[in-house]
Amino acid sequence: FPGMLSNPRLMSVQRTLNVVMNQNVSLSCHSESGSPPVRYTLFKRNQKVSTSNRPDLTPGLFNLTINFASDVGEYKCKAENNISSGGKYSNSLNFTLIEPVSKPVLSSPTAQAKKGQNVTLSCLSENGSLPITYIFFKGRRNISPPLKMRKREAAVIFLFINSSSDFGTYKCRAENSFRNNTKYSNSFNFTLAEERSRSQPLIISLVLILLLFVIALAIPFFVIPSYKASE
């Protein structure tokens, strides 16, 4: 049918569907063919949001502000003219709300370690849009590949305490798709666990044996005089 509108295309003017809270966004709804004038209507979950009337085949523009998490729901638009009965509907569009990562917490089940011991470090940001990528550092040197976590759970690495240098300062870094927002954790240091000397039990045993020997030698000096005095 001459003059009938083509199905419109709905797209983000910013060319990204990642948004943050309180961000202004623009949507474009456009039928490339058909007879003008054209009336474009924007819907969010089948509820009318706004209308744009165009005297020609230029796109209808809709300006929105993402104020709530519910504002990132499904959007569609409808194009109508005097020929198309019932109008034509576009593709659906969904925004993704991006939240910056919070400062991650670096921790370990044990704060004390000794040489030859295996230990673990865990890094977790409690807030921030998933996935979150973590990297572990010792000093300024990274000691792990990027660990991308798609669930709200800590990234964990395993370490082997081999020398005194392994008791240095550790940190981790967290980042997600929110631009220019990389967060570093607190510092964490393992402390050297005090090892009991191997000779310590032997020394204690020798002291006890000596004490018993002294007591055994002293008994005759107390028992015999008391026995004679009683006769």
Number of domains the chain is built from: 2
> Per-residue confidence at 120, pLDDT binned at 50, 70, 90?
very high
* 13, part of any domain: yes
**Same domain, yes or no, for 74 and 90?**
yes
Q: Give the DSSP H/E element, type plus range, for residue 89.
A: strand 88-89
**Residue 2 reports pLDDT greater than 70:** no
Give Cα 226 to chain centroid, integer Å. 81
Cα–Cα distances (Å) from 61 to 30, 35, 41, 45, in that order, read 9, 19, 10, 18
- Tell me the residue type at 183: K
**Residue 109 reports pLDDT greater than 70:** yes
**Same domain, yes or no, for 59 and 31?**
yes
Domain of 182 in residue numbering reads as 105-192
Interval 1-15 mean pLDDT: 89
49: CB partners within 8 A, 6+ apart: 42, 43, 62, 64, 75
Longest CA span, the chain:
142
Q: What is the pLDDT of residue 177?
A: 87
Whose CA is closest to 87, among 5, 30, 9?
5
Q: What is the pLDDT of residue 137?
A: 97
* 205, part of any domain: no
**Same domain, yes or no, for 84 and 109?**
no
Rounded to whole angstroms, how far apart are CA atoms 75 and 40? 13
Whose CA is closest to 40, among 91, 89, 1?
89
- The alpha-helical segments, DSSP class H, found in the chain are 200-230
Q: What is the CATH number of the domain that holds 65?
A: 2.60.40.10
**Same domain, yes or no, for 59 and 92?**
yes
Among 46, 69, 97, identify where a domain stops: 97
**Same domain, yes or no, for 84 and 156?**
no
Q: Percent of the chain beyond pLDDT 70?
A: 87
The pLDDT tens digits for 134-182 are 999 999 999 999 999 999 999 999 999 988 888 889 999 999 988 888 9
**Residue 205 reports pLDDT greater than 90:** no
* 127, part of any domain: yes
**Same domain, yes or no, for 41 and 116?**
no
* 152, part of any domain: yes
Cα–Cα distances (Å) from 201 to 120, 193, 205, 207, in that order, read 31, 18, 6, 10
- Name which of 70-74, 161-165, 213-217, 226-230 the model is least confident about: 226-230
Q: What is the pLDDT of residue 223?
A: 56
Interval 109-128 mean pLDDT: 92
**Same domain, yes or no, for 30 and 91?**
yes
**Same domain, yes or no, for 143 and 178?**
yes
Among 65, 97, 129, identify where a domain stops: 97
Among 62, 97, 132, identify where a domain stops: 97
Rounded to whole angstroms, how far apart are CA atoms 106 and 125? 9
Choice between 184 and 198, residue whose per-residue pLDDT is larger: 184
**Same domain, yes or no, for 16 and 83?**
yes
**Same domain, yes or no, for 93 and 123?**
no
166 phi and psi angles, rounded to 5 deg: -75, -5
* 32, part of any domain: yes
Q: What is the pLDDT of residue 197?
A: 46
- The alpha-helical segments, DSSP class H, found in 49-175 are none
The helix/strand/coil state of 39 is strand
**Same domain, yes or no, for 127 and 155?**
yes
Whose CA is closest to 62, among 5, 36, 31, 24?
24
* 165, part of any domain: yes
**Residue 229 reports pLDDT greater than 60:** no
**Residue 193 reports pLDDT greater than 50:** yes
* 220, part of any domain: no
* 204, part of any domain: no
Interval 88-115 mean pLDDT: 93
| Averaged confidence pLDDT in the chain | 88
> Per-residue confidence at 69, pLDDT binned at 50, 70, 90?
confident
pTM: 0.61
